[in-house]
Copies of this chain bind each other. A is one copy, B any other.
Amino acid sequence: MRILIVGGDAAGMSAASQIRRRQPTWTVEVFEMGERTSYGLCGIPYYVGGLVSNLENLVVMTPEQFERDRGIKVHIRHMVTAVNPARKSVTVKNLADGQSRDENYDQLLLATGAAPLIPAGLEPGVPGLFYIRGLDDAGRIRQAAAHARTAVVVGGGYIGLEVAENLAHDGLKVTLIGRRVANVFEPELQSLAQASLVKGGVNYLPGSEAVGAAAHPDGGVAVKLAGGETVQGDLVVVGAGVRPRSELAAEAGLALGEKKAVQVDRLQRTSNPFIFAAGDCAETHHLVTKKGVYIPLALPANRHGKVAGLNICGQSEKSQPVLGTSALKVFDLGLARTGLGLDEAIKAGFRSAVKTVVKQRSKPGYFPGSGEVTVAVIYDKITGRLLGGQMAGPPDGVGHRINTLAAAITGAMTVKEAAAIETAYAPPFSVVYDPVIIACEVAEKSR
């Protein structure tokens, strides 16, 4: 049995490792167009600003380690340019010599990941204009930042905010362009993220949109805004979101789903019986809505890759539906979310979805480091079912507090049931009634 995997990051290597462990005699080969495997893209903003000093620290496991320790052959700098389902083969181009060849598979896994969205007018090619697609970009941005005094970040999402924070920490004067910031959060939390960004020293231009980029006569890049103004930066980093890399799948005739991600069932099978897909190139299933959704996140990518590997080995393991649990630090503010936002809930058909927002102390007022946590819970006013939760506050609690709500949603709890969870209290950590508990209590009382 010959298994080919396209893509050597989280989903691909998780699958490869599972297959190797369960079927030691099978052939497992991975084609990765870059030079690295299991590179943590999430760490890139922290390298770009110098908090992480060595790019290789972001690599969890190298191709050599995979080969030596797990017996998995990874062909780096090999780009799969076509999938031929009829012949059960892929066309692979060796980027080192430009030569293409066909490789046959019995089963194929597409783990091609995501690609940055490129806003019109900001196409790559302008010197000093960067996208974050891989660790090599991170290295180039770091080099540019080392000689820069000003930077422009385009995009107020996770990556944009993290890059802005890290470049500012590195001493650059940073301007952030974006219509809103942290817009996957409820408006009450967006405004907190914006305030934290500004307090951190970033020059945020609310409501702005970048529509062009060109070399600036005085050096660096001139970013043109929709309003006509231009903003100069010695370097420009665009973090405008991602899209699934699903071109190969589309050209091979595989069904695409939400946001053109490769459509998969709970077993990670595509519309072709010999082709699986997992990770940021694939659609996932939402735990609350039960519908297909495109939520590219590291933990689901790892898990779904593993499930794909198991099922390639003949098991019928179902992948866990996603909640989109995620966290973000913007200077002194942590933000986190899980499940559905209010608009998402209403759009998904929860017509009686409502939201309760509370502000509570993170620790007793007398304790040093106490701050305010804002917690939003989204729930069904009729049934009381918890549908989502979001929060913002001192970073040391928020990134973990969200998991209490993720667990509660996974356990299909109502807000009343979630309000009864017994959380830990000691002054260095929290208050007697944790803000998460208060939010659920207030929600229950509001019904």
| Across-interface contacts of A367 in B (CB, < 8 A) | 43, 46, 51-52
The yes or no answer to A358 lying at the interface (CB within 8 A) is: no
A75-83, A238-246, A421-429: which lies at the B interface? Answer: A421-429
| Across-interface contacts of A411 in B (CB, < 8 A) | 407-408, 410-413, 417
Q: How far is the CA of A320 from the CA of B399 in the complex (A)?
A: 27
The yes or no answer to A343 lying at the interface (CB within 8 A) is: no
The answer to whether B57 and A432 have CB atoms under 8 Å apart is no
Q: Which of B300, B325, B366, B425 contacts A52 (CB under 8 A)?
A: B366
| Across-interface contacts of A436 in B (CB, < 8 A) | 403
The answer to whether A326 and B395 have CB atoms under 8 Å apart is no
**Tally of contact residues, A, Cβ under 8 A:** 69
Q: Which residues of A42-57 have CB atoms within 8 Å of chain B's CB atoms?
A: 42-43, 46, 51-52, 54, 57
| Across-interface contacts of A287 in B (CB, < 8 A) | 422
The yes or no answer to A404 lying at the interface (CB within 8 A) is: yes
Interface residues of A, Cβ cutoff 8 Å to B: 10, 40, 42-43, 46, 51-52, 54, 57-58, 158, 162, 287, 297-300, 302, 320, 322-329, 334, 336, 338, 364-368, 395-404, 406-408, 410-413, 417-418, 420-430, 432-434, 436
| Given A57-B366, A338-B422, 17 other A-B residues pairs in contact with their CB atoms under 8 A | A298-B425, A299-B433, A302-B432, A322-B422, A325-B424, A328-B426, A334-B428, A334-B429, A396-B396, A401-B403, A403-B403, A406-B423, A407-B407, A407-B421, A408-B411, A410-B420, A411-B412
Q: List 6 A-B contacts (CB under 8 A).
A: A40-B432, A43-B366, A52-B366, A297-B425, A326-B426, A400-B424
